[in-house]
Amino acid sequence: MTLINFQLSEEQYKELTDELIYHNDLYYNQSHTEITDEEYDNKFQLLVSTENLHPEWITPNSPSQKLVGQNSKQKEFQKAVHQKPLLSLENTYNAEDIKDWYESIERVLQKMTEGTSSIGFSLEPKYDGISVELIYKQWKFVQAITRWDGMSGDDITANVMTINSVPKIIPYQEELHLRGEIVMPKSVFEKLNEERAKAGEALFANPRNAASGSIKQLDTSVTASRKLLCYVYDVL
């Protein structure tokens, strides 16, 4: 269900802003969720559409202006700047959006090429984990940074050092920036939740949240015990 056709009052807009800040804090700082990704995305779309109608209501606290609530508990990690922005993906939950997106690209391409070019697509799977930038200098792995707002993130080098699938040395002497996704295998996730249930601890909602909670541990030995994996898919 898409909510973007609803129009909110200013008071409802303020309540929606507070609600999204609350869910951001749960997702990014507590590795927990109370609503589905689709429910969150619909609420965020409603926020943006309302702000398009009433730009005078927008405040710096709006989740559309910055990633409010994502860093209130990460003071222990040092900040690091990305050499190039790490962008996030757009998403959709219906075929009509994809059709509109395709047609908009087709119109632009036809205009640019006077109808002489056709569109081709390349599809790839998306791992649902924690986006990370890996940096190598003179063959050695030297730094790992979370995506956060795309311009800067948390330096999680010590924790990523514990991930066996991240090579610590590569045969490339120049500086190299890679982008990857840190994930937790489902088998590890299920075992971890079994152990937490026996200990009377809150269960992780899904492998993505478990991976997020694991990579944000201040104790690197805890991160190492979670058996995380890292898949690299892009060269920055």
Any idea what DSSP says for residue 230? Answer: E
Burial of 35 (C-beta count, 10 Å sphere; 0-12/13-18/19+):
middle
From residue 59, alpha-carbon distances to 56, 71, 121 in Å are 8, 19, 38
What HEC string does 126-195 produce?
Answer: CCCCEEEEEEEECCEEEEEEECCCCCEEEECHHHHCCCCCCCCECCCCCCEEEEEEEECCHHHHHHHHHH
Active site residue 168: no
* Set 66, 84, 126, 186: catalytic member: 126
Residue listed under structure tokens 């589905």? 36
What is the DSSP annotation of 51-109?
A: HHH-GGG--TTSTTTS-TTSSTT-TTSPEEE-SS--PPPP--SSHHHHHHHHHHHHHHH
The residue among 167, 91, 183, 105 whose CA lies nearest residue 134 is 167
Any idea what DSSP says for residue 229? Answer: E
Q: Cα–Cα distance between 176 and 139 in angstroms, integer?
A: 9
In one-letter notation, the amino acid at residue 154 is D
Catalytic residues, by residue number, are 126
